[in-house]
Amino acid sequence: MRAPAAAGLASLRWAGRRSTAAAFRAPSTTTALSPSSPSSPFDHGQSRTGATLVDTPTAAHDVARGEAPPPESPSRQAEASRIFRDAVAAAGPRQDWTRREISAIYYQPLLELAHQASTVHRRFHSPGEVQLCTLMNIKTGGCTEDCSYCAQATRYQKGTGLEARRVETVESVLAAARKARDNGSTRFCMGAAWRDMRGRKNSLRNIAEMIRGVRELGMEACVTLGMIDDDQARQLKEAGLTAYNHNVDTSREFYPSVITTRSYDERLQTLGRVRDAGINVCSGGILGLGESSEDRVGLLHTVSTLPAHPESFPVNALVPIKGTPLGDSTPVAFTSMLRTVATARILMPATIIRIAAGRKGMSEEKQALCFMAGANAIFTGEKMLTTDCNGWDEDSAMFGRWGLSPMKSFDKTPPGGGQVR
């Protein structure tokens, strides 16, 4: 259990910040993209090498696929309005969304979409409560996968200069978890740059010890270790794991442009094993990989039609890292980020939506818009794997200015009922 003294210290810190007008250091904002001219009916002003400028209904795309009449058609507009209205009014989560329905929601006028997502958020969550998670890299670099965005892949090491490190000790991980807890974080996530856990018996034993230690601190424990089998999932569950993170990253169609060493189905199989072991699933995506709006709709379709909605859905904005294949990517437009958050909130009303990588580059006002539209978790602390993270002081000051408060541990009803484990 969490030590009362430490818990008191953390809450005092956040409460204290709330009444203090601490100086806010405005971070740089996401870069606006320059319009690109469509080169084919399938481009819609977007490209595979640059992120979307503006998310607009993709008439040509839909017509070419024989899926829908053009958006200017009154019948389609009426249908989209009806889908949107019904989705917002839904009494609980549903897993049978079609891509057409998700498109109808995603392409709504943005402020209306954000506003309606906000009403859904208020029905399913305490508005203003935001979960504080801290993410630690417990094994850096040396990964055999080829994720085009990742500094930890061995094959990009020459360009990134990132040095691989051995697995952290249990003691050092628990010291970091204690520090995170004392600063107000309630979930501690541990990431290891591995393809899978095959032949890593000793490491799994150590990780189980880390999980037990994190739980003894009164925190929720999450890990991301690549692919795992049924037995490994069972061992993690027995150690007390709260959630397992395994992102699907993007749509099924676009995924092979980003990763070739692990299939989309393998990712879904890992999520199935986690779910079957009774561990909460954390699975999200990365925006700004060069995907189209349709790919963002595809990502949302994948996660919202899983047998159970993920307990948490991290929305990452790519932080381009020099030396990786996506190192020169243009940052994703904030409107795409907001659209994705708002649509996810409507599709998966009970899920925790986490603003993950890329938050460091978002102004406080942009973050606030995401919180309004349904985001209710952040990563906070010193580092986020290999990139910088907004620190606890910065975030507690922001919470004070916007009237936000930290979500307590184990205080969330996961999608489908029950208790956060």
Residues 207/139, Cβ–Cβ less than 8 Å: no
Whichever of 143 and 300 has its CB closer to ligand SF4, that residue is 143
370 catalytic? Reply is no
> Which residues in the 105-164 window bind ligand SF4 by CB under 6 A?
143, 145, 147, 150, 152-153
**From the list 53, 117, 193, 338, which residue makes contact with ligand SF4 (rule: CB under 6 A)?**
193
x-marked contacts with ligand SF4 along 226-245 as a string, rule CB under 6 A: x-------------------
Is 389 known to be catalytic? no
The nearer residue to ligand SF4, 140 or 376, going by C-beta atoms, is: 140
Cβ atoms of 120 and 365 closer than 8 Å: no
Regarding 258 and contact with ligand SF4 (CB under 6 A), the answer is: no
**Which residues are registered as beta bridge partners of 354?**
314, 377
Provide the angle, in degrees to the nearest 10, between the axes of the packed helices 99-106 and 293-304.
Answer: 120
Q: How many residues belong to the site for ligand SF4 (CB under 6 A)?
A: 8
Note if 143 is an active site residue.
yes
Active-site residue, from 17, 99, 133, 147: 147
The two tokens of residue 330 are: 């243009």
Task: Name which of 267, 341, 397, 381 is nearest 116 in CA terms.
Answer: 341
Bridge partner list, 191:
137, 224
Smallest separation, CB 28 to ligand SF4 (Å): 25
200 to 229: interface string for ligand SF4, x by CB under 6 A = --------------------------x---
Is residue 133 part of the annotated active site? The answer reads no
Does residue 177 contact residue 223 with C-beta atoms inside 8 Å?
A: no
| Residues 266-295 within binding reach of ligand SF4 (CB under 6 A) | none
The least distance separating ligand SF4 from the CB of residue 195, rounded to whole angstroms, comes to: 6
Question: For residues 138 and 241, which CB has a smaller minimum distance to ligand SF4 in the complex?
Answer: 138
User: How many residues are recorded in the chain?
Assistant: 421
Cβ proximity to ligand SF4: between 117 and 193 the closer is 193
Binding region for ligand SF4 (CB under 6 A):
143, 145, 147, 150, 152-153, 193, 226
Active site amino acids = 143, 147, 150, 189, 222, 282, 354
